[in-house]
Chain A
Amino acid sequence: MRPTPPSWLKLLVPVKRTVDYAVKIRVGPKGVETKGVKHSMNPFDEIAVEEAVRLREKAKDAIEKITVVSIGPAKASEVLRTALAMGADDAIHVETAEDQVVEPLAVAKALKELVGTESPDLVIMGKQAIDDDSSQVGGMLAGMLGWPQANFASKVDLDAAGKQVTVSREIDGGLETLKMQLPAIVTTDLRLNQPRYASLPNIMKAKKKPMKKLKPEDVKADFTPRLETVDVKAPPPRQGGAKVESVDEVVAKLKEAGVL
């Protein structure tokens, strides 16, 4: 073991491969069709990776390592490569079966196990995945670990020397600022930053960065779903298209609808 200065911090960034946000999804007989559909990194996770990289650009040597982790099928390694190209140092891929549904609770349990082995000081992740829209993993993990949490972060100030993080978080009707001792968990909101594009040289370099492959057994997580999906339907289409000719008619219709 080499001697480690006390302020050296490790960051863990969980990322998810989801259907690309620009895709208009289709609901088939077996639920949402994901085969042959463009996938990419969950947009909120991209923001998390960007924030981790920016924190290091600011704190320089104080941050020893940024590890990205994804739990998912073989192709999830692609989003890990993207994260490495954005500036993460190494990656962990917990590879699951192609059609395995991994619920937030299972993800949180697996991450808890990885926190045990990787011992990060700060976990940064997206506030929600745009496929299941659960918005749960960050809070669940924080609860399981007994770590402080700051969800929906719009600003993160890391004091590496003091092992503290100050987070402005989006709440209904405003912002709230929290100061937490590390280790802690932060989930990212859309306004936190603008993720960078990975440059071609960085994409090439990312191919050489280490990626550890794990199996679900390695993280001791039981991936059996607690929720059985009964069915998935397309929402009822909206009856729109009623046009009016003047502002007066708009006001009249609003009165009719009882909203004015």
Chain B
Amino acid sequence: MFSSATRTALPRTATRAFSASARAKAETLVFLETKGDSLVPSAANAITAAKKVGGKVTGLIIGKDEASVKPAVDRAKKMGLDALLVRTSPALEHALAEPTAPVFAELVKKGGYTHFAAGHSALGKNLFPRVAGLLEVQQISDVMSIQDENTFTRPVYAGNAISTVKSTDSIKLFTVRASTWEPAQEGDKEAEVDVKEAENVGPEWVSEELVKSERPDLATAPTVVSGGRGVKSKEAFDETIIPLADALGAAIGASRAAVDSGYADNSLQVGQTGKVIAPNLYVAVGISGAIQHLAGMKDSKTIVAINKDADAPIFQVADIGLVADLFEAVPELVKKVEEAKK
């Protein structure tokens, strides 16, 4: 086989297609998630995964009406897609599963798509199983890599094992783990956009009380600062972790110990039973690094650990480990990060 250097030198199309027949046959539809009027960052990663299948790739954007998704459409059509579908209906405004899933199922069936992809975000996780139920296919969740048009790898047991599965379904429905795919870049080529009102919209839904936080979301944030038991109190958590997160523009996470002790909210727990994340930068402060915690963050690109116990297991996975008292090191780090940004 090729050496890795040769392989990267090949044109993109040659590396992503598996065989001439696969290229001719596969037709992938990829749902592009939007928030407000723009694409969410992970949509670009989903496009890359869809292209890896080989064959034609069609994007799909949904919204209340054409105007509400225009910026997202303008961006998506330049991202190397072969075509872009926009389906609108007032009922699709919040992309709730009930009205949306029938629209998706119908599009896939009528369009003759062999593959349907989306990001493994809260939205993708909510929508896709319902579509899978309607189409009666076995969905493949959280895909990390694609070997051929039928064969996918995905993490099981909270990322402690990587499973390769071959699908026998005629339609492959899958969600992709954003952090393992490079985002698709904007180019000069523009995909043709087909805008229509959505057919077969399910019953409309009552949505209310959408609470939004200003801080980046833990599951998708590129940078995460987490505190553990070593932070010692809720006050200390707020005084050390929050300023560091602010300085880095990061989401806040916590270990189970910190959550159980009431330092941080349950929703911030990173680990096997909390959120499994893979940001570019993960800063673990006062976290020893129990296996359950590591399961939730060990795929992060760069891990920084600050802990006063030099033997803490977290140092075995940290790229940058600092043995120090967090109450001294963190404020100093905040100051220096802010200086570095200027």
Q: Point out residues on A near B: beta carbons under 8 Å.
A: 19, 21-22, 24-25, 27, 31-32, 43-44, 103-105, 108, 130-144, 148-149, 151-152, 154, 168, 170-179, 189-191, 225-235, 238, 240-251, 253-255, 257, 259-260
Of the candidates A141, A171, A227, A234, the one having the most CB atoms from chain B within 10 angstroms of its own CB is: A227
Q: Which of B157, B167, B336 contacts A227 (CB 8 A)?
A: B167
B264 to chain A minimum Cβ distance, whole angstroms, is 11
Other than A104-B138, A254-B304, give 19 A-B pairs with Cβ distance below 8 A: A24-B291, A25-B161, A108-B133, A131-B157, A138-B129, A148-B98, A172-B122, A173-B212, A174-B217, A177-B209, A190-B269, A227-B140, A227-B165, A227-B167, A233-B164, A235-B160, A242-B318, A243-B323, A251-B336
Interface membership of B341, Cβ < 8 A: yes
Q: Which of B168, B208, B216, B333 contacts A247 (CB 8 A)?
A: B333
Interface membership of B137, Cβ < 8 A: yes
Known: A130-B272, A139-B128, A172-B220. Is A244-B321 also a contact (CB below 8 A)? yes
C-alpha gap A98/B301 in the complex (Å): 39
Interface membership of B266, Cβ < 8 A: yes
Interface membership of B48, Cβ < 8 A: no
> 7 closest pairs, A vs B, by CB?
A143-B133, A139-B129, A191-B266, A140-B133, A226-B138, A143-B130, A136-B129
- Report B134-148 CB contacts with A as 1/0, cut-off 8 Å: 101111111000000
C-alpha gap A140/B128 in the complex (Å): 8
B interface, size bucket? 35 or more
C-alpha gap A103/B127 in the complex (Å): 18
Interface membership of B199, Cβ < 8 A: no
Interface membership of B97, Cβ < 8 A: yes
B277 to chain A minimum Cβ distance, whole angstroms, is 12
Q: Do A131 and B156 have beta carbons less than 8 Å apart?
A: yes
Of the candidates B138, B154, B223, B302, the one having the most CB atoms from chain A within 10 angstroms of its own CB is: B138
Q: Do B129 and A104 have beta carbons less than 8 Å apart?
A: yes
Report how many A-B pairs have Cβ atoms within 8 Å.
Answer: 262
Q: Do B265 and A32 have beta carbons less than 8 Å apart?
A: no
- In the complex, what residues of A have CB within 8 A of residue B158's CB? 130, 133
Q: Do B340 and A172 have beta carbons less than 8 Å apart?
A: no
Interface of A is mostly: mixed
Contacts A/B (CB < 8 Å), 7 sampled: A32-B156, A177-B209, A191-B267, A238-B317, A241-B315, A242-B320, A260-B337
Q: Which of A130, A139, A238, A254 contacts B298 (CB 8 A)?
A: A238
Q: Do A143 and B132 have beta carbons less than 8 Å apart?
A: yes
B36 to chain A minimum Cβ distance, whole angstroms, is 11
C-alpha gap A232/B130 in the complex (Å): 27
Interface membership of B243, Cβ < 8 A: no
Interface membership of B10, Cβ < 8 A: no
Known: A232-B161, A243-B323, A254-B302. Is A143-B281 also a contact (CB below 8 A)? no
Interface membership of B239, Cβ < 8 A: no
Known: A108-B133, A226-B138. Is A175-B209 also a contact (CB below 8 A)? yes
Known: A21-B273, A226-B167. Is A240-B209 also a contact (CB below 8 A)? no
Q: Which of B133, B139, B157, B322 contacts A243 (CB 8 A)?
A: B322
B291 to chain A minimum Cβ distance, whole angstroms, is 5
Q: Do B136 and A105 have beta carbons less than 8 Å apart?
A: yes
Q: Which of A22, A25, A144, A177 contacts B157 (CB 8 A)?
A: A25
- In the complex, what residues of A have CB within 8 A of residue B306's CB? 250
List B residues 29-54 near A (Cβ within 8 Å).
35, 40
Q: Do A172 and B138 have beta carbons less than 8 Å apart?
A: no
Known: A154-B267, A176-B207. Is A139-B126 also a contact (CB below 8 A)? yes
Q: Do A250 and B167 have beta carbons less than 8 Å apart?
A: no
Smallest CB-CB separation from A177: which chain B residue?
Answer: B209
Of the candidates A191, A233, A254, A257, the one having the most CB atoms from chain B within 10 angstroms of its own CB is: A254
- Report B312-342 CB contacts with A as 1/0, cut-off 8 Å: 0001111111111000010011001100110
C-alpha gap A170/B154 in the complex (Å): 23
C-alpha gap A227/B324 in the complex (Å): 48
Q: Which of B123, B130, B319 contacts A257 (CB 8 A)?
A: B319
Known: A32-B157, A179-B206, A240-B319. Is A248-B129 also a contact (CB below 8 A)? no
